[in-house]
Amino acid sequence: MNRLSDEWSLSPDVDPDGELLQEARSAPEGDLRAFEKLVLRYQRRVVANCRYITRDQINAEDLAQEVLVKMFFGLRGFEGRSSFAGWLQRIKINHCLDHLRKQSSRSFVGIEEEQVHEFDQLKDQTTADQLAETISDQQLIGEVLDSLPSTLRIPLLLCDMDELSYEEVAQTLSISLSAAKMRVKRGREMFRERYQKAQLKGMT
């Protein structure tokens, strides 16, 4: 049985999933109780993320199941250099991006990077999550998110739903930091604009 990396502490203060993760890794073969608890803790969010990232409502649950299977087989090799949630997050994102690539004849290609001249404009603190707190119609939120182009929707979801930093978004999508900031900013602006239009349309 592989031992956990010495550089990683299982203290809940370091990783809230540490204790449960240790139980899952050290469980006898066939004992899936701790793993099932991890699944229950993250399943809903993984399904929702797969749905929003890929816009594939039909296959979202299958994609989430595949992510969780990858999580299971990767547990022994997890070295704890990031939080468990962050590690699972990368599995999910990479799996969803692979799915998108397979559904298209071309790879995931972002909008052209533009030099950022006014960095103050990137200090917009309003996030999609904050907007969503005041919206009761979850279907409308989903429709608005689905209407965003992938180049804006995915960075926005990673930043505002998965709470990745700009640096982590850039690293995940293999783009520059300035491009990550710009895409999140544009995604937030487009989300607000399209939501407001949809809301007004619903009132007429």
Q: Are 70 and 178 in contact (CB under 8 A)?
A: no
pLDDT at 177: 95
Three-state DSSP state, 100 = helix
Percentage of the chain modeled with pLDDT above 90 = 31
> Tens of pLDDT along 60-76?
999 999 999 999 999 88
Check whether 166 has a pLDDT greater than 90. yes
Check whether 170 has a pLDDT greater than 50. yes
203: pLDDT confidence band, cut at 50, 70 and 90? low
Q: Where are the domains of the chain?
A: 18-103, 119-203
Check whether 152 has a pLDDT greater than 90. yes
Q: Which CATH class is domain 18-103?
A: mainly alpha
Q: Enter the DSSP assignment of 28.
A: P
> Tens of pLDDT along 105-134?
444 444 444 444 443 444 444 566 554 544
Instruction: Please give the CATH architecture assigned to the domain spanning 119-203.
Output: Orthogonal Bundle (1.10)
Range from 78-87, 136-145, 173-182 carrying the lowest mean pLDDT:
136-145
Cα 71 to its chain centre, rounded Å, is 15
pLDDT at 188: 94
